[in-house]
Structure 1
Amino acid sequence: MGSRERRSDAVANRDRIVQAARAELSGSDGGELKLHAVAKAAGVGQGTLYRHFPTREHLLAEVYRHELTQLVDAVAPLLAEHAPLDALTIWMQRLIEYARVKRGVMAAIEASAWQDLYADQHHRLDDALGTVLDHGKAAGEVRAEVDAADVILLLGALSRVPEAEWDARAHRIVAVIVDGLRPR
C-alpha cells in the first residue's frame, strides 16, 4: 500500500471516528462519550482511535470544530437558495441540532480546554450569523437595529432548556426569536 492510500485511509478513519462520536453525543441518552463504543461504531480499533485522538478532549474538540464548520459553511448556500429570513430560520434550526451536540461536548470537555476552544472558534459563528442578518436587513426582512450579539444572547435561552423538553421547546424558541427579528 502506497503512502497516498495510507493517508486516504487515515483520513477516512478519522472522519468515521468523528461521525461516530457525533452520533454518540446526539443520541437519545445524551450520556458520556464512551471511546470504545465510538471505535466500534467507526469500525476501527482503539489504537487507531487513540492515534488520531490521544484523549477524549481531543476527539470532543474535533467534533465541535466539525459541527461549527458545517454550520458556518451552510450560510452561503442557504442565502443563495432562500429569502434571507427563510435562510435564517433554516440556519437556526440547524443551529439547534448543533446546540444539542455542543451541549454534550461542553459537558464533557474540561472547563479550561473548553475556554480555549471557544475563544478560538466563536467568532466564526458570530460572522456567519452576522452575514445572514445583514442580508435580511438589506432585504427589509430583519430589524435594522439587531446584530449578531443580540441573537446570540437570545439563543442563550436554549442552554436553559431541560434535556427532556428539548425536542418540544427548542424549535418553538427559535420560531419566537425569528418572529422578533421581523421589522414592525
Structure 2
Amino acid sequence: MRADAHHNRLQLVRAARDVIGQKGTTDVNVREIASAAGVGTATLYRHFPNKEVLIDEVSVVRWSRMEAFARHGVRAAYTPVQQVLAILEAFTRMTTTDDRFIAAAGLKVGHAPPRALQPIRQSFDPLFAALWVEAQREGMLRRSADPRDAVELAGAIRDGSRRIQMMTMLTAGICTGAVEAEALVSQMFLKRSK
C-alpha cells in the first residue's frame, strides 16, 4: 500500500474512533467521518466497503499493535515478565484512549468482533502465551495466573487517571513474590505516564 493510502486509512480509523466516541453512538454519517479524517467519502469507500467494516477496523488496528508487540517485543532489553507487563500496559493505554468509542460501539471486554479479529487473535494468543510461560519458568508469574484473564483485566482498565494504580494491582495479582509490583510498574511506566 502506498504511504499516502496507508496514511489515509489510518486517518479514517482514528476519525471513526473519535467521531463515534464524541457523539456517543455509531449512528454517525460516513461524511462526518471522512471530513474529520480530511478526506472525501470516495476515499473512505476505497478503503472500507461500509461503515461497519470501518468500525471493526478500530479494534483490528488495536489488536494488530498487540500482535506486533507479542511477536517482536515492546523493548529488546526487556525480560519476559517485563515484556508481558509492557504488552498489558500498552493495551490499557489503547483501551483508555478508545474508551468512549468502545462504549459507543457497544464493545465488551472479551467479546470483540470475531470475524474481523479472529486471525489476529489466533496469532496474538499463542505468542503472548509463550512469553507468559517463559516468565512463569523464570518464577516471575504465578502458575495459577492465566494470560487470557490478564488481557481481559487489562482491557477493562479505562480510567486514565487511575490507569497506573490499576496496572500495579493487576501486576501484583499475576506476579509471584519474587517481583515487587509497585517498584516494577513505577520503573517501567511511571515516567512515560506523566
TM-score by length of 2: 0.67
Deviates more, 1:124-133 or 1:69-78: 124-133
SS of the equivalent of 1:81 reads coil
1:172 matched to 2:165? The reply is yes
Check the 8 A contact 1:106/1:114 in 2, yes or no. no
Check the 8 A contact 1:68/1:98 in 2, yes or no. no
Check the 8 A contact 1:17/1:38 in 2, yes or no. yes
Please list every run of 5 or more consecutive structure 2 residues that lacks an aligned counterpart in the other structure.
178-194
2:53: which partner in 1?
58
Which has a greater percent of helix? 1
Deviates more, 1:145-154 or 1:36-45: 145-154
Please list every run of 5 or more consecutive structure 1 residues that lacks an aligned counterpart in the other structure.
none
What is the RMSD computed on CA atoms of the aligned residues?
3.4
Question: Deviating runs (4+, > 6 A) in structure 1?
Answer: none
SS of the equivalent of 1:80 reads coil
TM-score by length of 1: 0.70
1:81: which partner in 2?
77
Distance 1:60-1:133 versus aligned 2 partners, 3 A rule: same
2 CA distance for matches of 1:54 and 1:79? 36
Q: How many residues align?
A: 171
| Offset, 1:127 | 2.5
1 CA distance for matches of 2:135 and 2:92? 20
Deviates more, 1:56-65 or 1:83-92: 83-92
Question: Mapping of 1:91-110 within 5 angstroms?
Answer: 91-100=87-96, 101=98, 104-105=101-102, 107-108=104-105
1:42: which partner in 2?
37
Identity %: 25
